[in-house]
Structure 1
Amino acid sequence: MILIIHRISAVIAMACIALFFSSTIIVELIGAAESIVIVKSLIVWPGLFILVPSIALTGGSGFVLSKSRNGKLVERKKKRMPFVGVNGIVVLVPCAIVLDRWASAGSFDTQFYMVQCLELFAGAINLMLMGMNMKDGLRMSGRLGSSPIISR
């Protein structure tokens, strides 16, 4: 059951971050100010209320699952997760809240776009780290063949 929770919560977390990332880029490129306000608002509610618990469930269930396993893949996953969590709590959540408030106030100035760039950069890092963890998880389960890098 823990493994199912881990897999589902990991997919939900990654999908949320990918959706937030892509919708932000798309709305900035082709959307009007009103669309940006809507996207920023949806990222905070209900977005963060889906993302934060899914990351917590992924990390917690991964911690429980890792107690019965060892090896390079498990260790690499364990090393990445604190960065994902801290990046989310310290950077992504505050950025999302601030950008939502500024967008709602119509404040699309240099500060807004600087914070937006920070949010996109942090989101890309989390997507990359979570993707690496997912790839290692698939290798651990035997659903993805090992690569020469793993055997070192």
Structure 2
Amino acid sequence: MIKIIHPVAGTIAILTIATFWMSTALSELFASRSVVTAVKTTIPWGFLLLVPALIAVGASGFVLAKGRRAGLIGAKIKRMPFIAGNGILILIPSAVFLAFKAKATEFDGWFYAVQLLELIAGATNITLLSLNMRDGLRLKGWLRATPR
């Protein structure tokens, strides 16, 4: 069961973060402020899906690792503190701040500064989670390592 939970939770997590990121970028670039407000005030509700998925993928990953810390498993484990820290210290507070600012229609310099920080941190987490997914696929033999 845990071998199913891990990839499913990981896929849900990365798709959720990518959806947040794309919705933000597209609404900021091409939509009205009312759409930006809708996107920014909806994202915190997505944490109800994202946070449990991240907990499930992290916990199941540690169980699946069975104490091993070398190779691809070690690389995945080393990325996890950055992914978690980025989410807890930057992404969640930024999303909540932006939701409050958007709801109050305060699209000021602080809004856009935090928005830029959130986009950079989100892209970082998407990249790190993608690397973890790639390494997981390699561990399962579903993806071959490319020669260097």
After superposing on structure 2, the runs of 4+ consecutive aligned residues of structure 1 that deviate more than 2 Å are: 68-71
Contact 2:68–2:74 (8 Å) recurs in 1: no
Which amino acid in structure 2 is aligned with residue 61 of structure 1? S
Question: Which structure 2 residues correspond to residues 50-129 of structure 1 after superposition, within 5 A?
Answer: 50-67=49-66, 69=68, 71-129=70-128
Q: CA deviation at 1:65?
A: 0.5
Aligned position for 1:132:
131
Code of the residue aligned with 2:2 in structure 1: it is I
TM-score relative to the length of structure 2 = 0.96
Aligned partners of 2:39, 2:119: CA distance in 1, in Å? Answer: 14
State the aligned residue count: 148
Instruction: Tell me how far 1:23 sits from its aligned partner.
Output: 0.5
Residue 147 of structure 1 and its aligned partner are, at CA, apart by: 2.1
Q: Which residue number corresponds to residue 35 of structure 2? A: 35
Q: Note the C-alpha offset of 1:30.
A: 1.1
Task: Kindly state the Cα deviation for residue 122 of structure 1 after the two structures are TM-superposed.
Answer: 0.3
Segments of structure 1 that go 5 or more residues without pairing to the other structure are none
Question: Does residue 4 of structure 1 match 2:7?
Answer: no
> What is the aligned-residue identity percentage?
47
SS of the equivalent of 1:131 reads helix
Q: Write the deviation string for residues 79-117 of structure 1: whole angstroms up to 9, x where unpaired.
A: 001110111111100000000000000000010000000
Using the alignment, how far apart are the partners of 2:35 and 2:135 within structure 1?
37
Counterpart CA distance in 2 for 1:42 and 1:86 is: 22
Give the SS at the match of 2:94: helix
CA–CA distance in structure 2, aligned partners of residues 141 and 98 of structure 1: 40
| Cα distance in 1 between the residues matched to 2:85 and 2:137 | 24
Q: What is the letter of the counterpart of residue 88 of structure 2?
A: I
Give the unaligned 5+ runs of structure 2. Answer: none
CA RMSD of superposed structures (Å): 1.1
Whole-angstrom CA distance in 1 between matches of 2:74 and 2:95: 31
More divergent stretch after superposition (64-73 vs 126-135): 64-73
